Structure 1
Amino acid sequence: MTSCTPGGTPDLMFMLSWAGQALTAEHASGLARLGISPRAHCVLLRARAGGLTQRQLGELCGIDKTTMVVTLDQLETAGLARRCPSPSDRRARLVEVTAEGEKVLGQAQRIAARIQEDVLATLPEPDRAIFLRAIVSLVGGRLRGGSCGNTDL
């Protein structure tokens, strides 16, 4: 499935959107076996190092405040994470990954790695590293979240 601009070149916005949706669907399907969502996977992954508040994790994962609360409620109910008072700010809660959360996170990371390997395997070997460098450059620069087209990053 491709879409082209009026000039006949591939439509970057369409292609990236299509790829993102396809990858998200495959990721969600793989994680469903573990009882978590891609959003929960991101929260567990970012919270693993410790010392981050709900707000900080929400920003790192691109999750709004309300959705973050729902996600953390689900993770706590499943015994995968817990919220603890912050020693430096009584209003803030730090998120900790439980031992069971570490186990599920390890499985989720293996699922994500398998999907990435499968997707990249469809590209010729020499193109894989080039593709990854290019997408990292785009997402880390011009397409960084929240820029809305601002090139003064």
Structure 2
Amino acid sequence: MGRLHPALTNLLSGDNYHYCCHSNLTRALADHLGISLAAAEPHIHDVLNVFMCTGFTRDTGQYFMKASPVRPGDYLEFFAEIDLLGALSACPGGDCGAEHTSDAAPCFPLQVEIFAPQEGALGDWRSPARNGYDQTHGRG
């Protein structure tokens, strides 16, 4: 069950698993900023597993993970429209095709580059306005 969000793992099995991507990023942010885990955790939203092959089986609805189809040289580019804190966590499950969270699971290096656009490259582009959602969740 350790492959799922820690709250879901606990709900499904009663286990507390703390070495998933979400927990790894929460600990890293807390350590980096010198804040408590409770203060850091709300800043760690759902993880975006861009180089993982996961899903639910069609017949039983069971969650699965398998080896990533990514190959050397594959990449993603993101454009941040607002200031953000980005963090990277290599999955503790290695390539997710072997056993999970073990020293036997193969791991591979990841490279992160942050670029700024050249002066004038964005023309008249402006950052979007803040989302107007009032956060009352229907109780305001």
TM range (shorter): under 0.3
Which of the pair is proportionally richer in helix?
A: 1
